[in-house]
Structure 1
Amino acid sequence: MSLTALTLVLTAALVHATWNYFLKKANATRPFWWLVYIITAVITVPALFIYDPQALTNITPTGWLVIALSAPIHVIYGQVLQIGYKKSDYSIVYPTARGTGPLITVLCAVLILGDRPSFWGWIGIALILASIVLLAMPHKQDKQTQDLRIRAGIFWGFLTGSFIAGYSFCDAWAVQQETGLTPLSFYFPSIAVRAIVFAPFIMMHANWKAESKEILTTPRLQKALAVVTVGSPLAYILVLYAMTIAPLAYVAPSREVGMMIGVVLGGLLLRERLSVTRLAGVIGMTLGVILVGLEG
């Protein structure tokens, strides 16, 4: 994995952990993600036309099919993640979600895309995945006082990770194959499709207008909306560019260095316990990322 790809992935990890922290703090209602999609699409799709007038016409029918398949997976991912943050702690949901995602993604990349990491690449990936388990393990005292909350966090985190694997595999295929798609021409139209797909489900919700107004007018929610609207696309576009120059089997687990940031944010800002086990996970994660980064 080249230094450029690793830099893109690590920057994305920092941005990703940050916007997830703000999403957790917001504790927002269902229209939150819909507003994120609408605002992002309104700003970025016209900008894409200006930057590359031929961007959409270059997309093949297969490319449009991938966009249509990816968009609903991202929509469901956003909702499942949001529910998880309502049900449990950031330091449980985030590591579990970010852990199961690359585990499934790497297996798919090896079995389906034919990615073949070297020996040290496998060691780095194994270290990252093992560290994910350590980071997701609750403290002994937590087991006694918050057992149900922890189990809920692991369940929703695992479910979120499954959708992460789904869109990671789909999106990597989109930008690596002959689909006429670039990271920008794939991601920004996909955002618009997400807004369209999600709209009927939002409007079936009786209080969607009032909840949308609350998100747009409450300072705390406005701040979270701004951070997620900028941070979510930025982090993922950086990852998409990394996928164009490095195998998915390396990119997917390397993204999870963001869990180190997540653990720190959970401990310092949300006052969640940093156990020895989780700190060991941070060290293992760092070593694994270094090994993956030295690859190629």
Structure 2
Amino acid sequence: MSDWITSLEGTPAGHDLALGLALMAAFLHALFGALQKGRHDPWLTRGAIDASYGIIAAPFAFFVVPWPEPHMWVIFALAWVIHTAYKIAQAYTYTLGSYTVVYPVVRGTGPLFTVIGAWFLFGEVFTWVQWAGVAVLLAGIYGLAAYNLKHWQIGRDKLRPALAMAVLTGGFVAAYTTWDAYGIRATADPFTFLAWFFFIDGLAIPPIAYLRWRNMQNRPAVGPLMAKGVSGAFIAYMSFGSIMLATRLDSVGEAAVLRETSTVFAALIGWLMLGESTGPRRVALMALIAAGAVIVEMGG
């Protein structure tokens, strides 16, 4: 499969596959975010997910995929730092704010900085139509943030810090998207990057989550928590793997923007799974975000 993926790089077929992968990543990432924001503490859920995908990835990293080239260890080290910072910021964000409020800001802040980072690292240049699409997307994102700031009543006292943390988390999204795209392009076999990434990335948060669980007065049962962790692990494999393969096959900036159609899926998931109200104005603003992503794709 690795040979087939690499043979499609830079081709029209590769572009079409990257489009499908980015959209699949959008839906799966919205589902992943809802899973982390569910009834368990976000720190515990993230710890269970990371432990699960680290353990599952270990035999593939050590015994299945080709061994990483020497230069990859520096790339993995920096990726670990960026992702750990991102997950800490994300956990604080989900602790402070409702999922439907903070998720669009987290996921929508990233594309602008990702597009700029892709220009620096890969020499990618957006057309004026694509920049117009980014502007539409950002108008939807920050319009949504302003609307939430004015009208959202649940956890009102924590809304401003929640939105600030969401913007910070979005910055980490841009950092890891750009750096990971560089990493998956720096190795001969893309699945070497993915297997080793998941193994290494699973080492940071589980100890933090365990300490948090141990200090709780009412500790949740481990069984249901780990069941959620295993489910989240497989969603993470598909979501992160899809977007990383998309960035190897085609434009990093376009893939990052298309993934932010996840805000539309997030609104539906927040309503159906978490019981969070949406409303026509917020739906319209989320649709504006998705429209910006479509304009970017059409203008490329």
Category of TM-score, reference length = shorter chain? 0.7 to 0.9
Partner of 2:34: 21
Confirm or deny: 8 A CA contact 1:91 1:136 kept in the other structure.
Answer: no
> Distance between the aligned counterparts of 2:19 and 2:89, measured in 1?
28
The answer to whether 1:189 aligns with 2:189 is no
Greater shift after overlay, 99-108 or 135-144?
135-144
Partner of 1:232: 236
Confirm or deny: 8 A CA contact 1:68 1:190 kept in the other structure.
Answer: no
> Distance between the aligned counterparts of 2:197 and 2:244, measured in 1?
13
Partner of 2:271: 267
Partner of 2:170: 161
Query: In the superposition, relative to structure 1, how do residues 206 and 116 fare at CA in structure 2: closer, same or farther (>3 Å)?
Result: closer
Q: Which amino acid aligns with 2:23?
A: L
> Distance between the aligned counterparts of 2:201 and 2:168, measured in 1?
19
Shift of residue 272 of structure 1? 2.9
Q: Which amino acid aligns with 2:20?
A: T
C-alpha RMSD of matched pairs (Å): 2.8
2:75 aligned to 61, 66, 88, which one?
A: 66
Shift of residue 153 of structure 1? 1.9
Confirm or deny: 8 A CA contact 1:134 1:280 kept in the other structure.
Answer: no
1:286 aligned to 290, 297, 300, which one?
A: 290
Query: In the superposition, relative to structure 1, how do residues 30 and 141 fare at CA in structure 2: closer, same or farther (>3 Å)?
Result: closer
SS at structure 2 position matched to 1:270: coil
Q: Which amino acid aligns with 1:46?
A: P
Aligned length: 286
Gap regions ≥5 residues in structure 1: none
Deviations 1:211-250 (A, max 9, x none): 9x84532x3x344323321112210100001001221111
Partner of 1:252: 256
The answer to whether 1:148 aligns with 2:148 is no
> Distance between the aligned counterparts of 2:154 and 2:78, measured in 1?
41
Partner of 2:9: none
Name the % identity.
24
Query: In the superposition, relative to structure 1, how do residues 231 and 159 fare at CA in structure 2: closer, same or farther (>3 Å)?
Result: same
Gap regions ≥5 residues in structure 2: 1-11
Question: TM-score scaled by structure 2?
Answer: 0.83
Q: After superposition, where does 1:31-42 map in structure 2 within 5 Å?
A: 31-42=44-55
Q: Which amino acid aligns with 2:84?
A: V
Partner of 2:4: none
SS at structure 1 position matched to 2:34: helix
